[in-house]
Homo-oligomer: A and B are copies of this chain.
Amino acid sequence: MIFTSERTGDDDGYGDTSAIMMELASQEEGYLGMESARNTEGQGITVSYWRSLDDLRRRKANTEHLLAQRAGREKWYTRYKVRIAQVQREYGMNDA
């Protein structure tokens, strides 16, 4: 799953919720890993890897539940986009 976003200036509850979401993800069935980067202009990309689309769907339901309990994405992001994509091939250098 590719999550691209632009942050608002509002940090209220963000770091906390973000940490909980990463913790929950890492405990979920089918979770393979996550990579995240945000530059100084507030543009961010988080990619999380899952074994199957079913695992990702379950994860999505749990995420929405947590966000509904808290302020939700509208408070922290001016815009965001979620892309569900299936990895076809991978290669690299010095990668774990």
**Is chain A's interface secondary structure helix, strand, loop, or mixed overall?**
strand
Contact flag A37-B38 (CB < 8 Å), given A45-B45, A73-B93? yes
Copies in the complex: 2
- Of the four ranges (under 10, 10 to 19, 20 to 34, 35 or more), the interface on chain A belongs to 20 to 34
Q: In the complex the two chains form, what is the Cα distance from A31 to B60 in whole Å? A: 29
Best-buried of A40, A45, A84 by chain B (most CB within 10 Å): A45
Question: Do A86 and B83 have beta carbons less than 8 Å apart?
Answer: no
Residue of B nearest to A79 (CB): B94
User: B80, A84: Cβ atoms under 8 Å?
Assistant: no
Contacts of A91 in B (CB 8 A): 81-82
A selection of 28 A-B contacts at a CB cut-off of 8 Å is A2-B85, A4-B35, A4-B47, A35-B45, A36-B45, A37-B37, A37-B38, A37-B39, A37-B44, A37-B45, A39-B39, A45-B45, A47-B47, A73-B93, A74-B93, A79-B93, A81-B90, A81-B91, A81-B92, A81-B93, A81-B95, A82-B91, A82-B92, A83-B90, A84-B88, A85-B85, A85-B87, A86-B88
